[in-house]
Chain A
């Protein structure tokens, strides 16, 4: 497994995209901490980067990487290696490089300027989202027949998770505003990893006091040990399930 991942990593590092991504994240984080007087304000701005840019880059990078290494995958599939091992090695290679890019680019500035529970929560959510969206992108690429469809569907998925889903939630909340929806919105948040990450970080900040009754309920839930376990568990499911699905599809695919 690790042997194959090494070749995947080698290939990724040669393209230098990951290095550019690391530098971009590093510069952005650093400038936020320099520009804002208050470190928690900087974290707030970083939050948007983590919730919007990280999933987008993770998905696009993974999809392009998958199609670029199609020849490699084809070559490996005629060797004594199982399909599962090939795909998981690809996953490990991509995950390791994007995760290190995030942890260096955002992690180092956060640890320097805002080493507190909010900062740690931000790093946790960013790392989890990176892994989640790599999984989802692998699933989309394995299912799509060609590069255009692959990239198209990952973009659509990104739109769905970062924009459309919130709109749908708002619609539901407005139409059922007569009913007690607090527990239900808790469930809704689990269905979108970006929302889950956002709530998880927001509740570590003081702004949650502004969120009214639902905010109080959330704070009660996510602040507790069960809440943290819940977030961890749901994120893990979001990483593992799409990846397992991708492996299943990949095993039956004609190369």
Chain B
């Protein structure tokens, strides 16, 4: 479905992506994991064509993404920080996106719109929304057009526990529909029940990409966080970050 070949991207002194190659298929829920600044968001933005890689190629459904923007019609994207025109009202935003995507009314997925009760704030301008509400708008927009690929960048960050649970349930449902879902998150426990594959990035390099079954078997750990910590320790890589995460949880 999505094939990435030798992707490289450099921002001034920072090598954000260093020769990344990967293949994602339908039905997979891929967790992109790595410390801050490891290149997760850059990778996601490259897939969406928002960041232009220095070299390497990305194919979606066998087609090079540079040539034709229409592939983005099959992707629902939830950004890490949703930025929207300040003066635009929430309802207007949804109407505009509908107008641009040209998806027939009956194919729209208004599930999250209803569950997050966004219709009640349709008349509010975007600039008055809190960070969490904005995040709900982003989530509802990502799922709105029933896309076959979902790209979620830190979906649960900033959401209250109830909304976070609603979103996770929604992701589970979509997973059952045999969609490809890419998630980045720092909250590994959130990913536990969703993930089918783990892609671990560090300083722009792909450290490993494994399916969760073999990861569990190799490490003998059930929990994703511990499993990753084990892999990192065994391969004698710097695993401070995961250790910190685990320490945090114990407290």
The residues of A that contact B50 with a CB separation of less than 8 Å are 74, 77-78, 254-255
Give the number of chain A interface residues (Cβ < 8 Å).
23
B85–A79 CB distance below 8 A = no
Against B, the Cβ 8 Å flags (1 = close, 0 = not) of A113-148 are 000000000000000000000000000000000000
- Give the contacting residue for A79; candidates B45, B79, B88, B101; CB below 8 A: B101
Chain A facing B: main interface SS:
helix
Name which residue of chain A comes closest to B126, CB basis: A71
The residues of A that contact B69 with a CB separation of less than 8 Å are 80-83
Q: Is A253 an interface residue (CB 8 A)?
A: yes
Q: Is B51 an interface residue (CB 8 A)?
A: yes
Q: Would A71 and B84 be within 8 Å (CB), given that A82-B69, A255-B50 are in contact? A: yes
Most B CB contacts (10 A, CB to CB) among A4, A76, A81, A253 go to A81
CB of B9, distance to nearest CB on chain A (Å): 8
Name which residue of chain B comes closest to A251, CB basis: B52
Q: Is B235 an interface residue (CB 8 A)?
A: no
The residues of B that contact A78 with a CB separation of less than 8 Å are 48-50, 72, 75, 77, 79
Q: Is A160 an interface residue (CB 8 A)?
A: no
A3–B100 CB distance below 8 A = yes
Q: Is B115 an interface residue (CB 8 A)?
A: no
The residues of B that contact A70 with a CB separation of less than 8 Å are 83
Name which residue of chain B comes closest to A85, CB basis: B69
A75–B84 CB distance below 8 A = yes
Give the number of chain B interface residues (Cβ < 8 Å).
25
The residues of A that contact B100 with a CB separation of less than 8 Å are 3-4, 76, 79-81
CB of A248, distance to nearest CB on chain B (Å): 12
CB of A81, distance to nearest CB on chain B (Å): 6
The residues of A that contact B96 with a CB separation of less than 8 Å are 7
Name which residue of chain A comes closest to B84, CB basis: A71
- Give the contacting residue for A80; candidates B72, B85, B86, B99; CB below 8 A: B72
Q: Is B23 an interface residue (CB 8 A)?
A: no
Q: Is B208 an interface residue (CB 8 A)?
A: no
A3–B99 CB distance below 8 A = yes
Name which residue of chain A comes closest to B16, CB basis: A254
CA of A37 to CA of B118, assembled, Å: 62
Q: Is A38 an interface residue (CB 8 A)?
A: no
Q: Is A69 an interface residue (CB 8 A)?
A: yes
The residues of B that contact A79 with a CB separation of less than 8 Å are 72-73, 97, 100-101
Name which residue of chain A comes closest to B99, CB basis: A3
B87–A254 CB distance below 8 A = no
The residues of B that contact A159 with a CB separation of less than 8 Å are none
CB of A247, distance to nearest CB on chain B (Å): 14
**Which parts of B8-56 form the interface with A (CB within 8 Å)?**
45, 48-52
CA of A4 to CA of B96, assembled, Å: 9
CB of A86, distance to nearest CB on chain B (Å): 9
CA of A221 to CA of B97, assembled, Å: 52
A11–B97 CB distance below 8 A = no
Q: Is B241 an interface residue (CB 8 A)?
A: no
- Give the contacting residue for A254; candidates B51, B73, B83; CB below 8 A: B51
CA of A71 to CA of B83, assembled, Å: 6
Q: Is A72 an interface residue (CB 8 A)?
A: yes
Q: Is A14 an interface residue (CB 8 A)?
A: yes
Q: Is A183 an interface residue (CB 8 A)?
A: no
CA of A71 to CA of B134, assembled, Å: 13
A80–B83 CB distance below 8 A = no
Name which residue of chain B comes closest to A6, CB basis: B99
- Give the contacting residue for A255; candidates B51, B70, B84, B88; CB below 8 A: B51
Most A CB contacts (10 A, CB to CB) among B45, B50, B51, B73 go to B50
The residues of A that contact B70 with a CB separation of less than 8 Å are 80
Q: Is B122 an interface residue (CB 8 A)?
A: no
The residues of A that contact B45 with a CB separation of less than 8 Å are 254-255
CB of A151, distance to nearest CB on chain B (Å): 19
CB of B45, distance to nearest CB on chain A (Å): 8
B71–A80 CB distance below 8 A = yes
Most A CB contacts (10 A, CB to CB) among B84, B85, B87, B88 go to B85
B85–A254 CB distance below 8 A = no
- Give the contacting residue for A71; candidates B77, B85, B97, B99; CB below 8 A: B85
CA of A11 to CA of B89, assembled, Å: 12
**Which parts of A60-96 form the interface with B (CB within 8 Å)?**
69-72, 74-83
Name which residue of chain B comes closest to A15, CB basis: B87
Most A CB contacts (10 A, CB to CB) among B48, B71, B99, B100 go to B100
Q: List 11 A-B contacts (CB under 8 A).
A: A4-B100, A7-B96, A11-B88, A14-B87, A80-B70, A80-B73, A81-B100, A83-B69, A252-B52, A255-B50, A255-B51
Please give 6 more A-B residue pairs, beta carbons under 8 A apart, in addition to A252-B52, A255-B45. A11-B88, A70-B83, A71-B86, A74-B83, A80-B101, A83-B69
